[in-house]
Amino acid sequence: MTTKRAPAARGNITADVARRIAIRAQGLAQTADRPKTAGDVLRRVAAVQLDTISILARSHELVTYARAGAIGRQAVEDAYWGGAGAFEYHAHANCILPIESWPYFAFRRRTMREHRWAQPPSKAYREVQARLREGPVTVTDLGGGRNGTAGWWNWSDAKMAVEAMYYRGEAICTSRRNWKRVYDLPERVLPPDALAHEPDDAECYRYLVQATARARGVATRRDLASYFLLLLRRLAPDLDRDRLLDDTIADSGLIPVEVEGWPEPAYADTAALNARGPLRHRPVLLSPFDSLVWANPPSAGLPSREYTERLFGYTYTLEVYLPKHKREHGYYTMPLLARGRIAGHVDPAREGRTLVARNVALDDETYVDDLAAALREAASWVGCTDIRIDSVRPKALAPALQRALG
């Protein structure tokens, strides 16, 4: 197949317009069609990243809260693991995905069936198959995840078998029990149409690129690829990924645009580009794993938060994986989205019913009231009655922030 080339850019947009488009596309703006439930959020952003760390709440709860407000943490759990409306799989990282997108990860499942990593010990594989035919299981039900020695990757044979089945599409996770995946057979939980549809690679790429375009609003070729790691070799080693991506972009109906300050051409979703009017959104603290500020994995060969830095002109670093003595900003720094900008960040903690802002960084005094509002709302959501500020940069803003918090 000959690679198709996208048409030349049809227009120029300012950096401010690009930010407004992205914030609206991510469901963070106060518009008539903003997400109102956890299910709405999932379908708006197309994938919600999961992470084990819980400071104010787990990341998937924070993502929903940022868009739909304080709808109740149990409502989030019920939407993601209370039925067959969603499933887990490796998308940007390990993510919750809308159940209707299951067919379009077929390209990845096919390559995993040939990947040496996903060839489990045959005896364990047969045993896990037999257990799954009897009903859903956790790794604990299969005898545990470790082989008795120390180390993160010292998996038991049963753990290796069920994980291989998960990546190959022979097992699926649509629920969790005490934060443990519950594995089931796809034929027991998937809608018949999703189970029956096995799209080819080109159709998979087309669906995921278009889903990315809707979720990002405006994006470069690399941005379109990185949302679902479409160019990451280890997840689909046998595909001609570059050709598939180029053909998909050319066929997608996206509008080529030039964005002020961006070093390469971009593509805009038609509906996102046509949305006009002032941007209104509440000031909110974002999860470090929020799709608006997603980091690229090291294996992607891209700068970690290149999209965030280009879109907002803000350098944001998550230091959760650094030793404490090497951290400059804090353990779990949450970016502050305010007035269409990322205007700072907060490293939060909880001590009893007090929300502690251990490290606060703000661009300038313009955003003091916004941060105070975001902290008050977050504290109320997680059941805290007090807020304590430990450190503010610049220090001169500390008195104004204390006054704003009352």
Segment 11-60, tens digit of pLDDT? 899 999 999 999 999 999 999 889 999 999 999 999 999 999 999 999 99
pLDDT digits (tens, 9 = 90+) for 339-382: 999 999 999 999 999 999 999 999 999 999 999 999 999 999 99
Task: Give the sign of the dihedral formed by CA 10, CA 226, CA 374, CA 36.
Answer: positive
In whole numbers, what is the pLDDT of the chain averaged over residues? 90
Q: What is the pLDDT of residue 118?
A: 66
Q: If we measure between CA atoms, which residue out of 193, 175, 186 comes closest to residue 109? A: 186
pLDDT digits (tens, 9 = 90+) for 227-281: 999 988 777 777 888 999 999 999 888 999 999 999 999 999 998 888 877 889 9
Q: What is the pLDDT of residue 152?
A: 46
Residue of 296 and 70 predicted with greater confidence: 70
Structure confidence at residue 319 as a pLDDT band (50, 70, 90): confident
Residue 307 scores a pLDDT above 70: yes
Residue of 89 and 298 predicted with greater confidence: 89
Q: What is the pLDDT of residue 9?
A: 53
Q: What is the pLDDT of residue 302?
A: 67
Structure confidence at residue 300 as a pLDDT band (50, 70, 90): low
Residue 311 scores a pLDDT above 60: yes
pLDDT digits (tens, 9 = 90+) for 119-165: 777 898 899 999 999 999 999 999 887 766 555 467 888 998 999 99
Residue of 251 and 83 predicted with greater confidence: 251
Structure confidence at residue 90 as a pLDDT band (50, 70, 90): very high
Structure confidence at residue 299 as a pLDDT band (50, 70, 90): low
Residue 116 scores a pLDDT above 90: no
Structure confidence at residue 2 as a pLDDT band (50, 70, 90): very low
Cα distance between residue 295 and residue 288, in whole Å: 9
To the question of pTM greater than 0.85 for the whole model, the response is yes
Residue 117 scores a pLDDT above 90: no
Q: How many CA atoms lie within 13 A of 111 on its CB side?
A: 16
Residue 1 scores a pLDDT above 50: no
Residue 119 in tokens: 């060839």
